[in-house]
Amino acid sequence: MNETMKTILNRRSIRAYKPEQIKEEELQTILEGGIYAPTAINEQPWHITVVQNKDLLDKINRSCREMMQKSGNSTFAERAKSDSFSVFYNAPTFIIISGDPKAITPEIDCALALENMFLAAESLNIGSCWIHAVTQLFSTEEGKSLKQELGIPAEYNTYSAGAFGYKAMEATAPTRKENIINIIR
Ligand SMILES: Cc1cc2nc3c(=O)[nH]c(=O)nc-3n(C[C@H](O)[C@H](O)[C@H](O)COP(=O)(O)O)c2cc1C
């Protein structure tokens, strides 16, 4: 099997990370992978925010916890109550991809960029996980000021966000659904 296929098959959502920060050249490789994703009519309609600052990571986590506790969803509220809860599993690097809502397919473009980053990370044996709650955070009142603090363009929406760091767990692939492919020849 070639290296690219091995990387695709080995990538898993990692939900426990070592505290040690990833190397600068590893971060740059992950980012380069992201911005080489395809985009509708090559708009590249994105802005990428990398957060590695502990205070800011804590602030984002606190805001997510508050949002989850007020969500009305008892499972989320219960989970977020615990002081040890980390929405990004204590990952040392958190990447937020925002996009221009006036672009043709910003949500798809930003999702493809994040998946490219996940695969680039896996090729370096770095773990990653999509973190959905943060994309909702920036539409709340508290989230709006945080968005400004993070330098995310005011007119952009946050479409995808992911945790990155050295893996502190191994995960196995969920079984694949069957009979979902129809090849017509
Ligand atoms: C759009 C999207 C949102 C997701 N949101 C979360 C999330 O908020 N937290 C989380 O731990 N995993 C999240 N995941 C990861 C999925 O749970 C995971 O991809 C799935 O269970 C399959 O596992 P695998 O990634 O190891 O193949 C998300 C994945 C996608 C594609």
C-beta of 71 in contact with ligand 1 (< 6 A):
no
pLDDT tens string 145-172: 999 999 999 999 999 999 999 999 999 9
State mean pLDDT over 2-27. Answer: 98
C-beta of 167 in contact with ligand 1 (< 6 A):
no
User: Residue type for 16, please?
Assistant: A
pLDDT at 36 exceeding the cut of 90: yes
CATH of domain 23-166: 3.40.109.10
How much is the pLDDT for 88?
96
Give the closest residue (by CA) to ligand 1 atom 17.
13
**What one-character DSSP code corresponds to residue 179?**
S
- Strands 126-130 and 93-99, how do they pair? unpaired
CA of 184 to the centre of ligand 1 (A): 31
CA of 1 to the centre of ligand 1 (A): 25
Strand partners, 181: none
How much is the pLDDT for 143?
86
CA of 60 to the centre of ligand 1 (A): 19
Give the closest residue (by CA) to ligand 1 atom 13.
130
How much is the pLDDT for 6?
98
CA angle 121, 29, 57 (to 5 degrees): 65
Give the closest residue (by CA) to ligand 1 atom 21.
13
Distance of CA 119 to the CA centre of its chain: 12
pLDDT at 101 exceeding the cut of 90: yes
Distance CA 152, CA 129 (A): 21
C-beta of 133 in contact with ligand 1 (< 6 A):
yes
How much is the pLDDT for 134?
87
pLDDT at 141 exceeding the cut of 90: no
CA of 83 to the centre of ligand 1 (A): 23
CA of 11 to the centre of ligand 1 (A): 12
State mean pLDDT over 98-119. Answer: 98
Listed by start position, the domains of the chain span 23-166
